[in-house]
Amino acid sequence: MLKSNVLKTILLAIIILLSIFIPPPDGLTKEAWILAGIYLSAIVGLVIKPYPEPVIMLVAVALTCFTVTKFPDSPVKSMDVLSGYASGTTWLVFSAFTLSAAFVTTGLGKRLAYWFILKFGSTTLRLGYVTALLDLVLAPATPSNTARAGGVVFPIINSIATVLGSTPQESPRKAGRYLMVNVYMVTKTTSYMFLTGFAGNALALQLISDIFHIHISWIGWMLAGAPLGLLMLCIIPYICYRVASPEIKKIDNVAIATDGLKSLGAMSLKEKGLVVIFIAALLGWIFSRHLGLNESAVAIIAIGAALLFNIIGWSDVQKNKGGWNTLMWYGGIIGLSATLSKEGFFRWLADFLSAHLDFLSAGNMTIVIIVFLSVLVRYFFASGGAYVAAMVPVFATVGLVTGTAPVLLALAILFSNSYGGCITHYGGAAGPIIFASGYNDIKSWWTIGTIVALGTFLVHMFLGIPWWGFLMQHGMLQY
């Protein structure tokens, strides 16, 4: 492992050294060329992971700060490199991570799950829809789909599979195979329905905004993504049910849910308080424009209220490793992207691609081609965040040079990041957690994932583009 990490680190160093010793291409300054080398090295580092993401990004930020000091006439200053840590996007994600942890620590997430099972889970097919409904309820306040699917939904569904007599070794087909793969496909769908449904959404939007100079609000994102997501949530459990058909069709949901709710006891004051804060946060995000608040301010207010009323303690915030890790590396990559934009790198890249991509000039067909490619490349990425950092600026720039409607392309790219991860069992961090339960085989998982990803792609291209155009025409995206 040590030798492997050393070799990976050497590779990252070589990328930076090449940018130092190889002359920049025409139209690009030496500083921008070196900064691009540091950025590329950081992106590769996020993919091959010789060190944790925060370490990679902090080193990249440090190197970038050092580099800009060597060019006195640079339009970029060291404080510009650190601007990502002052970005509202970064704090929106961190705050939402903390809010999601409250669902686990208070037990509200489990209570919701058992309640849905009690009311709607009388068959294995309906249990698939219960999974979708639970994930949908949690998604707006849970940007970590790993925590949502892997930390809340999966443990409960896994327990239900065991109660039904479905074990990974002896009887995965009884119920477990269907239930587990459905958990993953559902969470990859709810992830694109809300800006705060996946941590990578805010980063992707920030990166695209730097290139297209557009703004899409929280409510605008929801209006664009939620209707399409709801349509797919009506279909996905049935797809999983047909391909990984469970042997058990009916279940004793009343006994399972009653035992689960009994173990939780009466609803605590903290849970009730979290419900109030959660609803208030949703209303704040929906009506942020009318309230004169941005989405980040609403999220921070929600966390402040949760701390003030002792729904979560500061120790819970400190333990939120996912949130702190995200704060460090997201802030870093947003800062690096901002420096490249200020140096004119993306404009140069757009001009370069424009001169070499003459075949991409067919209006909406350009969107279809770019988004299809964005789904295909997900075979090479085990991290949604790494994909966002590496590929979203590239696809956005390609679209920019073709003259495609920027808002339509932006939405298509932003959403494909999530559903593109369906195609493999490693397309997001929740995948390995669920797959490791042992119920699923790669063939059936990839088959279902391909069907779901392709189906979602077609829905977004044939229904999504006209819908987004309607929203844009009526000023409902608030960009």
78 found inside a domain: no
Question: What pLDDT does residue 73 have?
Answer: 79
151 found inside a domain: yes
pTM to 2 decimals? 0.75
Mean pLDDT, the chain, whole residue set: 87
Residues facing 250 on adjacent strands: 123
Would you state the structure tokens that stand for residue 64, as one six-digit string?
Answer: 């970038």
45 found inside a domain: no
Quick: pLDDT tens for 73-85.
Answer: 778 888 888 988 8
DSSP per residue, 41-81 = HHHHHHHH-SS-HHHHHHHHHHHHHHHHHT-TT-S--HHHH
pLDDT reading at 382 higher than 70: no
pLDDT reading at 129 higher than 90: yes
315 found inside a domain: yes
Q: Which of 431, 439, 452 is nearest to 239 (CA)?
A: 452
Question: What pLDDT does residue 1 have?
Answer: 63
110 found inside a domain: yes
Chain centroid offset of residue 406 CA: 21
Quickly state the pLDDT bin for 401 (edges 50, 70, 90).
confident
- Domain total for the chain? 1
449 found inside a domain: no
400 and 443 in contact (C-beta within 8 Å)? no
180 and 158 in contact (C-beta within 8 Å)? yes
pLDDT reading at 276 higher than 80: yes
Which domain does 170 fall in, by range? 88-322
Q: Which of 106, 134, 104, 139 is nearest to 119 (CA)?
A: 134
249 found inside a domain: yes
267 found inside a domain: yes
Quick: pLDDT tens for 154-201.
Answer: 878 887 887 788 888 888 899 899 999 999 999 999 999 999 899 889
Q: Which of 236, 333, 296 is nearest to 40 (CA)?
A: 333
